[in-house]
Amino acid sequence: MNNPPSLTAIVLTYNEEIHLQRCLDSLKGVCSEIVVIDSYSTDKTKEIAIQNGARFYQNKFSNHANQLNWGIEFGHITTDWVIRVDADEYLSEELGRNIKKDLITMNANVHGIRVKRLMYFFDRPLKKGGMYPIWHTKLWRNGSAFCEQRWMDERMKLNQGETASLEGDLVDHNLNNLTWWIQKHNGYATREAIDILDKIYNFTDAELVPSNLFGNGEERRRWFKQKYLMLPLFVRPLLFWFIRYVLQGGFFEGKRGFIWNILQCGWYRFLVDVKIYEAYKKAGYNKENLILFFKKEYGYDVTKIG
């Protein structure tokens, strides 16, 4: 029997001592190498990474896309394949087995592989309300992909070849408390607002995953998101909540589903729109004024993602 192609995991970290061991344990026996790209953690992240045999690098964080592309470029990756895994994620046993088995016989035309993300909330999986399965391109042949330059919701973009799918879940199970989650999403909302305004004012000329109703799952989601953004401010969060919670059955998740959809589909999307509204109220509809606003108020140079 042939040995499977070699595989490197890139793991982005910042103060991830609560998650990192679990993540690394799931990668052992699947990946030939593990590369941790850290944003100058102040906890035991470095010690855990090194103790588990990972190669450890540090780079100043600006956004996830930059950090991942930095790892691809400077992580000295020489394996056949690369997989992107967040520190609060881990491979299910089924996914690990299928990676080892299916990479051996993968068609030469396939340069990217999509896997299913399974999100946990309050320590249980979310499978209703459009939350599962959500397919993401997480594996790619070395040199065949880069992360699109976005402030939020970044995806891997292939520069050649086709995509295939593997069964098994990439489990996203964050163990931090609700206050941490809210603070994180407040920051996400700022970057999401910048991304939306970038589409209107062309702050950057980044190369993005295309939107295509008839494309793969990521391209379809991007198409639907563009249609969502055409709706009026403050109306679209209500519609999004209704679709996820009512039409897609989020209410079947019980209290967890109610909380999740209020926070993620309602409050978070509403907060994004409020931040756009704030920008317009303080800077008007002038591109240069908006650029200055985000630099002064939030410290972001919106003209330089990369």
Same domain, 86 and 149: yes
State the pLDDT at residue 65: 93
Asked which of 172, 202, 221 is the last residue of a domain, the reply is: 172
The beta-strand segments (E) located in the chain are 7-13, 33-38, 55-58, 81-86, 89-91, 110-121, 124-125, 134-141, 145-147, 156-158, 162-172
In a domain, 125, yes or no: yes
Same domain, 222 and 279: yes
Structural domain boundaries, residue 87: 7-172
Same domain, 48 and 137: yes
Three-state secondary-structure class, residue 268: helix
Three-state secondary-structure class, residue 146: strand
Same domain, 271 and 132: no
In a domain, 304, yes or no: no
Name the DSSP class of 252.
Answer: G
Q: CA–CA separation, 142 vs 150, rounded Å?
A: 21
**Cβ of 35: how many Cβ atoms within 10 Å?**
23
Asked which of 119, 153, 172 is the last residue of a domain, the reply is: 172
In a domain, 244, yes or no: yes
Same domain, 188 and 163: no
State the pLDDT at residue 105: 95
Same domain, 115 and 239: no
Same domain, 215 and 287: yes
State the pLDDT at residue 207: 65
The C-alpha R_g of the chain, in whole angstroms, comes to 20
Same domain, 52 and 160: yes
In a domain, 1, yes or no: no
Same domain, 162 and 294: no
In a domain, 303, yes or no: no
State the pLDDT at residue 225: 83
Asked which of 137, 172, 207 is the last residue of a domain, the reply is: 172
Using 70 as the pLDDT threshold, list the residues of the chain that sit under it. 1-2, 207, 306
Q: CA–CA separation, 71 vs 87, rounded Å?
A: 14
State the angle between helix axes of 287-298 and 268-283 in degrees (0 to 180), rounded to the nearest 10.
Answer: 120
Task: State the CATH number of the domain containing residue 88.
Answer: 3.90.550.10
State the pLDDT at residue 226: 86
Report which of 89, 87, 84, 91 is spatially closest to residue 43, judged by C-alpha positions: 87
Same domain, 144 and 212: no
The beta-strand segments (E) located in 24-177 are 33-38, 55-58, 81-86, 89-91, 110-121, 124-125, 134-141, 145-147, 156-158, 162-172
Give me the number of domains the chain comprises: 2
